[in-house]
Amino acid sequence: MRIKLTSVFVNDQRAALEFYTDVLGFAVHHDIPLGDDYWLTVVSPDAPDGVELLLEPAGQPEVKAYRDALVEDGIPLAQFAVDDVEAEYGRLIKRGVSFTQPPTDIGQAIVAVFDDTCGNLIQLIAEKPATR
């Protein structure tokens, strides 16, 4: 068993697509019209056949309450792995991304949290090599 697809809820799929591709650097994998919405997924350009991220419409009232509660408590909806959190933080700051938590050493990893402009907090993580 393996993870093939996961999702984040977004307020506006087209705006989310622009942020996730133009700002974060993901690549479009699927962009299929489905009525008023889309089956819209992005992937890492480093792993085009890897895990897809579905930019899921956040139209249900329960979704708003869920996401609002997560943001209010500072809890990221998703976590993206990077090789170097400090470098990625610097790159994204230059692109206008707003961080709610700067790079922070939490012992086993370095993390940072940003606002994806689509209603979510996203955590960047770079795990440290295991020491014995």
Whether residue 132 lies inside any domain: the answer is no
SS3 for 109? strand
Q: Which residues of the chain have pLDDT under 70?
A: 132
Residue 111: inside a domain: yes
Enclosing domain of residue 13: 5-127
52 bridge partner residues: 5
Q: What is the pLDDT of residues 96-106, one digit of tens each?
A: 999 999 999 99
Q: Is residue 48 part of a domain?
A: yes
**Taking CA 111 as the corner, what is the angle to CA 100 and CA 120, rounded to the nearest 5 degrees?**
45
Q: What is the CATH number of the domain that holds 36?
A: 3.10.180.10
pLDDT for the residue 21: 98
Q: Report the candidate in 3, 30, 1, 6 with the shortest Cα–Cα distance to residue 17.
A: 30
pLDDT at 76: 97
Does residue 21 lie in a domain region? yes
Give the model's pLDDT for residue 91.
98
pLDDT at 132: 67
pTM comes to 0.93
The predicted pLDDT at position 115 comes to 97
Handedness of CA 89, 90, 95, 96 (dihedral sign): positive
Number of domains in the chain: 1
DSSP assignment, residue 48? T
Which helix or strand (DSSP H or E) is residue 29 part of? strand 27-34
Residue 35 lies in a domain: yes
